[in-house]
A and B are shown apart, each in its own frame.
Chain A
Amino acid sequence: DTEVTQTPKHLVMGMTNKKSLKCEQHMGHRAMYWYKQKAKKPPELMFVYSYEKLSINESVPSRFSPECPNSSLLNLHLHALQPEDSALYLCASSQFQQETQYFGPGTRLLVL
């Protein structure tokens, strides 16, 4: 099973809303990632969690707040987003860092 699941599939939110994106994997992977992907661009790394601890934050604005409640779950809390934050948000996991990453289907976010 190489499945990473993400919810919701689509999300529309206003600039004053607070919402959360969820990601789950049951492969026993110890590294999990959040990426942002704009149309016709490659994924851009946002955060890396390794053994449930934040190991990389790619200078992401504080309106994005990651959380790793346990080794299977990764959340991304969103607050006071801007329209330019509209994108596909991809979660990925790997056995350890530097191993093959498996991606979830993504959440398509639209900020109005």
Chain B
Amino acid sequence: EDKVVQSPLSLVVHEGDTVTLNCSYEVTNFRSLLWYKQEKKAPTFLFMLTSSGIEKKSGRLSSILDKKELFSILNITATQTGDSAVYLCATYAGNMLTFGGGTRLMVKP
């Protein structure tokens, strides 16, 4: 059975801190890994990673995939209170997107 595991489950930091969120996976027919941010409702798309070792960056957020060790990390630098959310990692294997349990991030002022 395909498995996507995120850690930590939750994290509390202060504004300005840097955080690293982890996602490990065991899936057959792996195709890509996606990161989403979910605040109150819809998950919003952050990154899609298909190649190992190539960092994707968007403002203060960056992510990288390691297909040999089967994990990805999402980094957020200089965190702000608006970064508070659940961050979901998901893998495409075959035609299905399998989500991890999410990391709940709270950024305190």
Q: Which residues of A contact B (CB under 8 A)?
A: 2, 4, 33, 41-45, 48, 55-56, 88, 90, 97-98, 100-106
| Chain B contact patch, size range | 20 to 34
- CB-based contact A45/B100 at 8 Å: no
Point out the residues of chain A lying under 8 angstroms from B36, CB to CB: 103
The contact string, 1 if C-beta is below 8 Å from chain A, for chain B 67-106, is 0000000000000000000001010100111011110000
Asked whether A98 and B31 contact (CB < 8 A) given A42-B88, A45-B96, A48-B95, the answer is: yes
Task: Check B43 for interface membership: any CB of A closer than 8 A.
Answer: yes
- On whether A105 and B41 interact (CB within 8 A), knowing A98-B32, A100-B34, the answer reads yes
Q: Known contacts A98-B31, A98-B92: does B102 contact A45 (CB below 8 Å)? A: no
Structural contact, B95 and A55, CB atoms closer than 8 A: yes
C-alpha spacing A4/B44, complex, angstroms: 11
